[in-house]
Amino acid sequence: MENSRELILDMLMEILEKGTYSHLVIRDVLDKYNYIDHRDKAFIKRVTEGTLERKLQIDFILDRFSKVPVSKMKPLIRNLMRMSVYQLLFMDSIPDSAVCNEAVKLAGKRGFRGLSGFVNGVLRNIARNRHKIDYPNLSLRYSMPEWLVKMWSNAYGEEKTHCILEGLLEEHPVTIRLKESLSSAQKEDWLKALEREKVKVSSHPYLPYAYQVENTEGIRNLPGYEEGCFAVQDVSSMLVTEVAGAGKEGISDGQTGDDKRVTRLLVVDVCAAPGGKSLHMAEKLGECGEIHSRDLTEHKVSLIRDNIERMGYKNITAEVFDASITDESLIEKADVVLADLPCSGLGIMGKKRDIKYRITPETLKELEGLQRQLLHVVWQYVKPGGVLIYSTCTINPGENQEMVRWFLKEHPFTLESLAPFLPEMLQEEGMEGMLQLFPGIHETDGFFLARMRRKG
């Protein structure tokens, strides 16, 4: 455990002092030290992610109990104190004395023996007075930048904002999409294999092929991963393929039952990495469809290719292509265009904890401009009568509802109800052709999607 705390400290230094993305740092460290005990890996992941998630709250507490403000502390001491406060306040299984003693030892080991008294005194004072700590506002109580709390309160009301903030702090089990082509016997064998590995698995209430898994040492180690039995994908992302209405019979309008029958459907996924929606569409279409799965860089496209190879799909082509550039060869050729565009990611802060510290109001405006630019290009690929699915993993009206309203004013598309394609508990919310999913309210990431059909 001592070495685990050193790794956590080094990771926090890399993320909070150097600005490296948290999910990359955590992934790389856990891959490098894959041989360590799974309990230590779970401890490393939880303390690192939890400290990042609660940073605003923890800094507020430290400033109340320390004569030296957090901003004036030595960077290593600052992050050592943050990770220690997280353990004191949010991990009941660790004795306070162990947290304080390990922090003192680690400070000395890293060359700050002279600050041992400071570290010990502040941490023990916090431990003694933890029940007297109160928070003056929602921003500090939920460790969320104040401007985001205000934005959501204005857009969705205070009650819903409370639910969103609580939802973002909840534990988030991994969601996977099991291949629908698996037989009942294969599915049963897979579930039994997970049970033998003591992996907790539960069906998701929205879709029959979606499962949530917990108590796993890593997705790559799960039975069926290498064989391509499943893909890691949030249910909100699976709904994109569902509402596209594309399948082996053609493209459904979801209402009249009259599918638009074509010999072979063409689907273009313009910002696809790591490929979840493209893979799902490949599953739906089989030999009756072809998917062009694209992204901006070779690195991103290599992720798509890896998943295509593992899952064994033959009807996807992964390509490097800049979505801001018009591909003349695809104009009016696609039956479906999936436009899951770059966004602020506010709906997945529960998985990427440092997003909230990187995003600013100015960043939101820049992203909205980029989304308009990309939509102005990619709509051209949709055939007259074809479908455009616009989606984001954010809960910002400017990138979502307002973006769709702008698009419909400027382009020859109409909104179509999502209700016929959604699970029963979401149908009413999708009646108007747009669906906003919220963490803490829906059992998904924060996510937005809209279905639009090209006129003519």
How many Cβ atoms are within 10 Å of 429's Cβ, its own excluded? 15
Contacts of 151 (CB under 8 A, 6+ apart): 396
Could you give the CA distance from residue 336 to residue 253 in angstroms, rounded to a whole number? 12
What radius of gyration do the chain's Cα atoms show?
24
Kindly report the backbone phi and psi dihedral angles of residue 210, in degrees, each rounded to the nearest multiple of 5, phi listed first. -100, 135
Could you give the CA distance from residue 48 to residue 83 in angstroms, rounded to a whole number? 7
Residue labelled with tokens 């403000």: 69
DSSP 307-337: HHHHHT-SSEEEEE--TTS--GGGTTTEEEE
Nearest to 73 by CA among 58, 89, 87: 58
Three-state DSSP class for 174?
strand
Identified catalytic residue from 100, 271, 343, 393:
393
327: left (phi over 0), alpha (psi -120 to 50) or beta: beta
Euclidean distance between the first and the last CA atom of the chain, given in angstroms as a whole number: 64
Tokens at 307, concatenated:
């998943």
Q: For this structure, is 393 an active site residue?
A: yes
Nearest to 315 by CA among 384, 379, 246, 258: 246
Distance of CA 230 to the CA centre of its chain: 18
**Quick one: angle between helices 38-53 and 55-65, nearest 10?**
70
Q: How many CA atoms lie within 13 A of 324 on its CB side?
A: 7
86: enclosing H helix or E strand: helix 75-90
Q: Any idea which residues carry the catalytic annotation?
A: 393
